[in-house]
Structure 1
Amino acid sequence: MKPTKIMALSCLLLTVNGCSSVMSRTGADQGYYSGTRANVDMMKSDDTSFVMMPLLAIDLPFSAVMDTVLLPYDYLRSDKDKKADSPKARVQQDEEKNLAASGNPGQGMPTKPAR
């Protein structure tokens, strides 16, 4: 095989690697087969545009394969505290603290009433 064909094949394989599976593992632990579930949930959603539907359908089998390959990794992460890795959970916890301390959500500092 020529080097250009090898490079083209490598690039093709990198582009079809189960995007949802990779993206779902960059945040907090979301359980088993999270990429496949994310694809199916997006396909069922009314908010997903018609342009995304074919891309999700193409990505679904690759995400299922990638999720299967990453099952041992998911199993190792399954006993961790899910909130510790979740940026969303940390932000919500900080917002609750700010609201309790100041009564002003999002800022953490009390504001003076306008006159």
Structure 2
Amino acid sequence: MTITLLASSTLLAGGCSSVMTRVGPNQGYYSGAKNDVKMIKDDDTGWAMTPLLALDLPFSAVVDTLLLPYDYYRSSSNPEDDSPRARVLRDEQISGVNNVAPHYE
């Protein structure tokens, strides 16, 4: 029972980097696996995080492979347009919101 629970939670938690790298601007193909490798090599990554990243790497590679069509679809978009800041600024310009701070007398 415990082994089944541990195995299923590991499978559900796998590929976290792949999901996290896709919530922002397009970062190219295999962004989750690239992020795992980058963080494993980084000296600022803590000792407790490195084994978790190594465990996540194969799952992220599988999720990245499954999401290749989505990455291809997003590859034609401008990364700056996909950022939350750019979207807010664009929406403010469309709605006519003025970015000037209010002046109280």
Taking structure 1 as the reference length, the TM-score comes to 0.66
Does residue 65 of structure 2 align to residue 79 of structure 1?
A: no
User: Which of these residues, 20, 23, 27, is aligned with residue 26 of structure 1?
Assistant: 23
The yes-or-no answer on 1:14 pairing with 2:7 is no
Alpha-carbon separation, structure 1, partners of 2:48 and 2:10: 21
Larger Rg: 1
* Shift, 1:11, TM fit: 4.8
Structure with the bigger RCO (C-alpha within 8 Å, sep 6+) is: 2
When the two structures are superposed, what TM-score results if normalisation uses the length of structure 2?
A: 0.72
Structure 1 position 81, deviation (Å): 1.2
Query: Which residue does the alignment assign to 2:55?
Result: 58
Measured after TM superposition, the shift of residue 12 of structure 1 is: 4.8
Gaps of 5+ in 2: 90-99
CA RMSD of aligned residues (A): 2.7
CA shift for structure 1 position 87:
3.0
Q: For structure 1, which runs of at least 5 residues remain unmatched after alignment?
A: 94-107, 110-115
- Count of matched residue positions in the alignment of Structure 1 and Structure 2: 91
Percent identical among aligned pairs is: 56
Task: List structure 1 runs of 4+ shifted beyond 4 angstroms.
Answer: 8-12
